[in-house]
Chains A and B, each alone.
Chain A
Amino acid sequence: MEVAQLVLNGVMAGTVLAVPAIGLTAIFAVLRFTNFALASHMTIGAFAGFVANTTFGLPIVPSLATAFLVSGFFGWMSDEFVLRRLRASGFVTTAIGSIALTIALENFVRFGFGNQMRGYDLPLRRDWVIQGLRVSPQQVENLAIAVVVVALLFAFLALTRTGKAMRAVADNPMLASIKGINSDTVARLVSFIAMGLAGLGGMLTGLDTTIDPLVGFRTILSVFAAAVVGGLGSIPGAVVGALVVGIGEELSLLFLTPAYRTAVGFLAILLVLTLRPRGILGQRAY
Chain B
Amino acid sequence: MKRLSRRTVLKSAAAATAALAYPFQVQAQAEPLRVGILTPLTGAGGNDGPRMLKAMQAVFDEVNKSGAFGRKIEITVEDDQTNPEAAVRAARKLIEVNKVSVIMGTWASAVTAAVAPVCWESKTFIMTVSGADPITLLPHQGFLVRTQPNSRLQGTAHGEFVASLGAKRLGIIGIQAPFAIPTKEYLEAVMKAKGGAVVSHVIYEKDKSTYRSEIDQVMREKPDFLYLNGYAPDTVVVLRDLYRANINLGKFCQSYAVPQATLDTIPPEVSEGVMTGQPSADVEGSAYKSACDRLGLKEIDGYVAQATDWASLAVLTVAKAGAATGVALKDTVRKVSQGGGTKVYTAVEGLKALAAGKEINYEGASGPCDFNEIGDISGCRFRYMKVAKGKLEFLKLV
Contacts and interface: CB of A to CB of B under 8 A. Distances in A.
Given A126-B246, A257-B203, A110 B269 contact: no
A117 B267 contact: no
A124 B240 contact: yes
A210 B266 contact: yes
B309 to A, nearest CB: 23
Nearest to A206: B209
Given A114-B50, A253-B213, A214 B265 contact: no
Interface in B226-241: 232-233, 236-237, 240
A13 B213 CA distance: 11
A259 B216 CA distance: 15
B267 A124 contact: yes
B42 A107 contact: yes
Contacts of A118: 265
B210 A9 contact: yes
Nearest to A107: B42
A126 B243 contact: yes
A136 B244 contact: yes
Contacts of A213: 46
How big is the A interface, by class? 35 or more
Contacts of A253: 213-214, 217
A9 B214 CA distance: 11
B212 interface: yes
A284 to B, nearest CB: 30
B213 A9 contact: yes
Interface in A115-150: 115-119, 123-127, 134, 136, 138
Interface of A: 2, 5-6, 9, 12-13, 16, 107, 110, 114-119, 123-127, 134, 136, 138, 205, 208-210, 212-214, 218-219, 250, 253, 257-262
19 contacts: A5-B213, A9-B213, A115-B47, A116-B50, A117-B262, A118-B265, A119-B236, A119-B266, A124-B244, A124-B267, A126-B243, A126-B246, A213-B46, A214-B46, A214-B233, A218-B209, A258-B205, A259-B176, A259-B205
Interface of B: 41-44, 46-47, 49-50, 176, 202-205, 207-214, 216-217, 232-233, 236-237, 240, 243-246, 261-262, 265-267, 269-270
Given A9-B212, A214-B44, A257-B203, 12 more contacts: A12-B210, A13-B210, A117-B261, A119-B266, A119-B267, A136-B212, A209-B236, A210-B237, A258-B202, A259-B203, A260-B205, A261-B208
